[in-house]
Structure 1
Amino acid sequence: MELKQKIEQFIKNKNVCVIATCSENKPRASTVNYVPVGFTLYVVTSSKSTKYKNIKENPNISVAIDNQGRACLQAEGIVKILKGLQAKQARKFYSQKRDISHHKPELVDTILKINLKKIMFSEYLKEGLKVYRIEV
């Protein structure tokens, strides 16, 4: 399997990641559920959350996805807060993959589109640690 396909499959097989945002030199890490499409992650959040406020100020983001010590991914990316028709379409797509109906509406009133750019993927193999870097 080609490296990009392997990494894409890793992202697809998980649904939880940690995203790190920053505002006024104060970092914030948040665990979130996501729905992937290739190297793009869709995340729902509240427009009242700290991550939302940070993203409005600074759209640069870090993402970490772990596979319980067998592999992990760390990435840099850019976040877009979706609005209008894009948000409506993304929310519909997200809702087909993850049930958010049990959440209070104000906790999931915003959908984020995270485009991963620089990725470091690490695998823990019998022969030792293998680290790969790609840009997408």
Structure 2
Amino acid sequence: MIPAGHTIEDIKTRERIIRDFYREWKEKNPSQRKFNLSLKEYINIRMVSIVETSEHAAKNYLSTLAVLQLDSILTGARKVSVKKPKPGNANQKPFERIMIMEYELTGIGKIKMTVGVRRRTLEKVQYCITAISSE
């Protein structure tokens, strides 16, 4: 059961749930990527995906629920904007640009997925997933 509260214990429990979910997802998806229909390219899952998403999505119950729909979000999200990485953010440093993508999830609402585009390789990496209403 996923705790819906706002206590430190609830947040830590949701963070564990998200990390465990990603670990299981990676075991079931050895390529660690899904094809996005809108971009017509693969979006990859890397360690930064797990770290950023678990830290941010765990703060909100709906965001945690959204992460559990990872496959749907990775394949169905649509790009809504592109921006430069935040200066001074070490986790965004490897990216030349950041894409903001959105996906509508029944029962949860609009989901924001941040995707980083790596310098040189242009590999698309899922950076963070949150429920927009929870930001």
TM-score norm. by structure 1 comes to 0.33
Which structure dedicates a bigger proportion of its chain to strand?
A: 1
Which is greater in Rg? 1
Name the structure with the higher helix share. Answer: 2
